[in-house]
Amino acid sequence: GIQVEQSPPDLILQEGANSTLRCNFSDSVNNLQWFHQNPWGQLINLFYIPSGTKQNGRLSATTVATERYSLLYISSSQTTDSGVYFCAVGSNFGNEKLTFGTGTRLTIIP
């Protein structure tokens, strides 16, 4: 099956810093989502982005499907951005099923 790798596994930043999270995947996809899991365990949808670029406030994401990677940018980090960020992909053969990466744990220090 498709493999998903996220980097870095852990990231500790000062409040106000910018960050870039990366997601590499091993096969063609027609579904790619970024999630934020907050400290209470809730999974929050950030982006549905199988290709192209999207922005939502301080967050933006870019997926380059031909090169099999996606990037999540967080600018001017706030303590509420802390948590685990997951990338999940659905391959061209069975896009109903998401395969998750193991996540990037982001800690924002005041």
Where does this chain bind another protein (CB under 8 A)? 1, 4, 30-31, 33, 35, 41-43, 45, 48, 50, 86, 88, 90, 95-103
For residue 110, the minimal CB distance to another protein (Å) is 27
- Rounded-to-integer distance, Cα 51 and Cα 31, Å: 9
Nearer to another protein, 74 or 85 (CB): 85
**29-37 and 43-48: which strand pairing?**
antiparallel
Nearer to another protein, 77 or 104 (CB): 104
As measured in angstroms, the least distance from the Cβ of 63 to another protein is 12
Q: CB burial class (10 A; 0-12, 13-18, 19+) of residue 79? A: exposed
Minimum CB–partner distance for residue 19 and another protein (Å): 19
CB closer to another protein, 41 vs 110: 41
